[in-house]
Amino acid sequence: MDSEESFVALVNTANPAAYKSASLPQGSSSHHPPTYPPYANTQSQPQPAPSLMDPFFDDDEDLLDLSPVTTPRPMQSQESGLPLTHAAAPPSGLDSPVPFAIHPRFWATTRLEFRESRLPFREARHFQGHRRPRGNIRLRRRKKWKWRWPWEKEVQPTGERVIVLNNPAMNIEFCSNFVSTSKYNVVTFTLKFLKGGFEFLVRFAFAYAICRAILQYTTIAPLAVVLLASAFKEVQEDMKRHRSDSELNARVAKVLNESLGFDPRPWRDIRVGDIVRVESDEFIPADLVLISSSEPEGLCYIETSNLDGETNLKIKQASPQTSSLTSPTLVGGLHGSLRSEQPNNSLYTYEGTLDLVTDAGMPKQVPLGPDQLLLRGAQLRNTPWVYGLVVFTGHETKLMRNATSTCIFIFLFAFLLALSIGSTIGASINTWFLSSQQWYLFQTTSFTGRDILTFIILYNNLIPISLIVTTEVVRLQHAALISADLDMYYEVRDTPAVVRTSSLVEDLGRVEFVFADKTGTLTRNEMVFRAASIGGVAYAEEVDPGRASEEDGREMWRTFVDLRALLEGSTGRSDMEPSATGGEQERQRATAVAHEFMTLLAVCHTVIPEVRDGKIHYQASSPDEAALVAGAELLEYQFHTRKPRSAFIRVRGSPVEYEILNVCEFNSSRKRMSTVVRTPDGKIKLYCKGADTVILERLGKHQTFTEKTLSHLEDYATEGLRTLCIAYRDVPEAEYRQWSTIYDQAAATLSGRSEALDKAAELIEKDLVLLGATAIEDKLQEGVPDTIHTLQMAGIKVWVLTGDRQETAINIGMSCRLIAESMNLVIVNEETSHDTSEFISKRLSAIKNQRSTGELEDLALIIDGKSLGFALQKELSKSFLELALLCKAVICCRVSPLQKALVVKLVKKNQDSILLAIGDGANDVSMIQAAHVGIGISGLEGLQAARSADVAISQFRYLKKLLLVHGAWSYQRLSKLILYSFYKNITLYMTQFWYSFFNNFSGQIAYESWTITFFNVLFTVLPPFVIGIFDQFVSARVLDRYPQLYMLGQRNVFFTKSVFWLWIANALYHSLILFGFSVIIFWGDLKQATGLDSGHWFWGTALYLIVLLTVLGKAALISDLWTKYTVAAIPGSFVFTMIFLPLYAWIAPLLGFSTEYYGLVPRLWTDAVFYFMLLLVPFICLSRDFAWKYYRRTYMPLSYHIAQELQKYNIPDYRPRQEQFQKAIKKVRAVQRMRRNRGFAFSQTENNRQDQARIIRAYDTSKSEARPSGY
């Protein structure tokens, strides 16, 4: 096999579909219909077993095939379940079968009969073939719009999607690229609003509101106010979504037109089948099939930070059959069709087939996979341009497919009915048995159903409908306060916190589980070269003062400045003089080791350099590699040019060329990568870097630096740095020639190629010489460790759900303090369902037995995606959840987006807790929407998670204040507001009930009707708002200092059933005291000084005002923070009433309404008994409340009572400080863990479809000007 054929074979094996098609038997007949995969008969292939997973959720959308262990064969879609290549599309323009030969390497063809219905591209502009009269052409028509009721489920399309190339008229049936994340529009607002926002109103309030409206049309007003206020709030929130959608839909992309030029077109106008040109740093406007690019072999680089939060670049590659179409003329000449899977929400899978027709009229099949799919929302990086065929648009894109779109009131309504029925029975008894004795009242002796409606109207305000408006406004104000909080404002990106769903603010104060993504949420995915151990000497970018000297027998660390001086041959410090380091010979040896070390970092990698604006940028699928190469550049070993067979570096300004002979790639089993190079002096060397466990066991004898390097590795591990060992060996020419033959044979293997290459690498990766180690910092988001530690102290369980490898996730878990050094790790990493079940059962039993003896230890559960797939099965899920709940921290590695959602739903279904999910990418959307509260990390343009979340924040650290301060305040404020609102209404309207016993249950009201309305609308409207918006049971500083106070919300201390019933009992007590004392004082009708009786309305208005003063006094007692707004709301409301009510009672009768008040003002407001009653009765009522508050705080204080005392008297925190002791313990435990679990840090993209060696062989960065322009 010559070099060209070897390269073609490598290209084929890079793509699974092409790899399998390449093995088609040479003797296959071209006259048989093709089977798929093309290399074998499907009947002989064992079909994958159906997934055993059963998520056992009630939601229909959860019942999917979620198996994490089966990889779909090409073109056998797990989403549609159809083999999409059983019947290839007929050749374009051919009316009879055409025999042709099979090309065994790239594509398989067949002889198919022409059918009129299968000629979708017959009228394509570039169709070359026989034409028929236009009258016979049947074009596709846009699907007729069909009405779908809101309760009807959308019918998912089945079969395959056929897209015609370069023929827009044939693709009009597909949806547009317009997207909308808003809830409402002008047409649907009323229906959706009433259905979604007020189902609880529809259930009970609407019925009795209609009953009230039958008799008094004005009584419908409160319900109308409720609906209008809440509708206004919903409109305000939805307008923000509409503005965001408009911005996105108005973005511009370049689309190929009929003149073979590119027109700018808004994203919303892009259609399926369009060919789009995307240029560097532009966002992908729709899901595209990659046709070609400016890079060799159709390669391109994609940043998916908007989808999964990862900033390292993903490599995509066009099919070899289309990668040469690098001009508008060539790509516009495509004719045929694309048969694709139907739209689905799987971000990482895709199956399709391009059915092309060559210039000779020969059909040609091009299999497509996920390597050819560019997802909407991703960003093109370091690639001047790409051509893409639009396959999914709008809400059918994979990104958008990942966006899934109370009893107290019922009790009070039952209580209202009970009172009404009781009063009706009382009225009936009075009518039947006492009417003859009260003949002067002229009562009828017959019972009418109108009586019960009379009492429903009389007591209707027991249910505080105004509370709905109040809570909605208060929640909206809480959202505004959160958005205006400067502590959660990210100045770098000018991004404040944004609350998109204000109705969930109180849930922020009761969260018990936090589910977090790692990449982009906890970490920045930015790797920085921090330290290195070279020749037994530790160097660091910044040296801690405690390591800068040799005091107390500690080894002294040096800086990169010293390392640079050593490499230059000079001595930067006095302690590095030859006399201090063992002589000139020792210094030369150290310099040689350092030179070899830095050369390895600059040469042993698969990074591609690119010059932009005079500066070199490194394209790397592994951020670790990019960090190492950047670190070498910092130390004047600059990698600047790559050719197919060479790597060029600049050593202190001098260019040096290293010939790249072979690359042994990284994978999770090898945990290392090696490069065989020929140095400028003609020697052959093997450079190797990898995890310490695999490097140390491959070292030769008589290593000089092993012990010191291990000591440095332990120091790096305690700081949470990612480590790699660096080693090399000289390879004799004869040995290399012999090994090269073995390697070439392994590379030519079609079946088991990866295993063969690993075995070949083992033969040469031996007798290595250890040079040292590197330490890379995976930079966490600022404040992440403190935030997670504080959340755990607040009783919140933090679970990390990530797609990273297990070792990487454990490292991050330790560095962000999710996993403490004192924790024991429970690692679940099994291959089968049986093994997973057995492991979980054994560990669960062992932990229970241990804890039954009183021995408690903190545990951290780490489980990978494959084992998690088994653990989520119905029969095993309860055991898995029980084990997870026994652990203080949980990390799920290598999980899919759907598995993230299933984990959340598992906890949600089986735990009565508030769940919060936080993420930053489209792969987190399903998890965010599965939780009760969804938090999106914003700050980067176009983040789908932030759009779909209830709250958007810019940094993970802001979660601490959002939950511990704003969440705790919102929960406590709304609890107090709701309880107080019920209290004040019951206190007033129960006096009506007590009065029924004195008026023969006649339905006579005690108060003037408009004055009753004013109670909630004017006189007591401000106290609930002030309590709900400004009250603070403790300050933000105290909540931050004592995060344990957050547990009050988790235990629902402020709003339990007992608390609610105590408030109701207190309201009944107050109403009884108020009514009783008013009756006693007015017994026999109070005689005034004028000799006249006071009368009914005199008594009713006096009772009304003492009730008002009592409920305002109660508001004063429960207010923890007094501000100017509190003063205006509570005392101010009573002052306002005493001014407004006399004016109203004087003016209203003159205008012809509220005539009950005629002549009342001069009699009531000048009576001394009225003022005596106004002072005495509220004092008697509230004295019990004050006494109980004193007793509770003095003899039965809760934790927040003590915190209030600490805050009031500013008592300092005298808890003992043990930082130094804890730091020493942390180091000891970290070293012990390091010795148990070595070998982790390398985040190289591991993808069987990619061949890193082939990719670097395809590049010649010295000829960048030779790239096609795409025009």
Ramachandran assignment for 519, one of left (phi > 0), alpha (psi -120 to 50 degrees), beta (any other): beta
The per-residue b/e assignment along 533-554, b for 16 or more CB within 10 angstroms, e otherwise, is: bbbbbbbbbebeeebeeeeeee
Give the CA count within 13 Å in the CB-facing half-sphere of 297. 24
Look up tokens 């107050």; give the residue.
Answer: 1070
Q: Which residues contact 688 (CB under 8 A, 6 or more apart)?
A: 604, 672, 673, 674, 675, 695, 698, 726, 727, 728, 729, 765, 768
Distance (Å, rounded) from C-alpha 201 to C-alpha 331?
A: 59
Q: Which of 862, 854, 910 is nearest to 884 (CA)?
A: 862
- The H or E element spanning position 1176 is helix 1168-1195
Distance (Å, rounded) from C-alpha 623 to C-alpha 1242?
A: 9
Distance (Å, rounded) from C-alpha 647 to C-alpha 605?
A: 10
Burial of 617 (0-12, 13-18, 19+ CB in 10 A): middle
H-only helix segments in 635-691: none
Q: Which residues contact 70 (CB under 8 A, 6 or more apart)?
A: 48, 49, 51
Distance (Å, rounded) from C-alpha 648 to C-alpha 18?
A: 33
Burial of 999 (0-12, 13-18, 19+ CB in 10 A): middle
Task: Tell me the pairing of strands 262-266 and 933-937.
Answer: unpaired
Give SS3 for 299: strand
Candidates 308, 451, 517, 920; catalytic one: 517
Ramachandran assignment for 161, one of left (phi > 0), alpha (psi -120 to 50 degrees), beta (any other): beta
* Gap between the terminal Cα atoms of the chain: 36
The per-residue b/e assignment along 721-747, b for 16 or more CB within 10 angstroms, e otherwise, is: bbbbbbbbbebeeeebeebbeebeebb
Task: Dump the DSSP string for 311-330.
Answer: EEEEEEE--TTTTT--SHHH
Q: What is the DSSP letter of 462?
A: G
Distance (Å, rounded) from C-alpha 530 to C-alpha 631?
A: 8
From residue 354, how far is each of 16, 272, 508 by CA, in Å? 16, 15, 50
H-only helix segments in 911-996: 925-930, 944-948, 958-961, 968-996
Q: Which of 97, 92, 150, 106 is nearest to 12 (CA)?
A: 106
Q: Which residues contact 422 (CB under 8 A, 6 or more apart)?
A: none
Q: Is 359 noted as a catalytic residue in this protein?
A: no
Q: Which two tokens stand for residue 207?
A: 């019925």
User: 924-928, long-range: CB within 8 Å, 24+ apart, which pairs?
Assistant: 924/308, 924/309, 924/517, 924/521, 924/897, 924/900, 925/402, 925/403, 925/404, 925/897, 926/345, 926/402, 926/404, 926/897, 926/898, 926/900, 926/901, 927/515, 927/517, 927/801, 927/897, 927/900, 927/901, 927/903
> In the sheet that 379-381 helps form, which strands lie side by side, from edge to edge?
310-317, 299-304, 379-381
Look up tokens 């511009």; give the residue.
Answer: 252
**37 upstream amide cis, omega within 30 of 0:** yes
Neighbours of 495 (CB within 10 A): 18
Burial of 905 (0-12, 13-18, 19+ CB in 10 A): buried
Active-site positions read 517
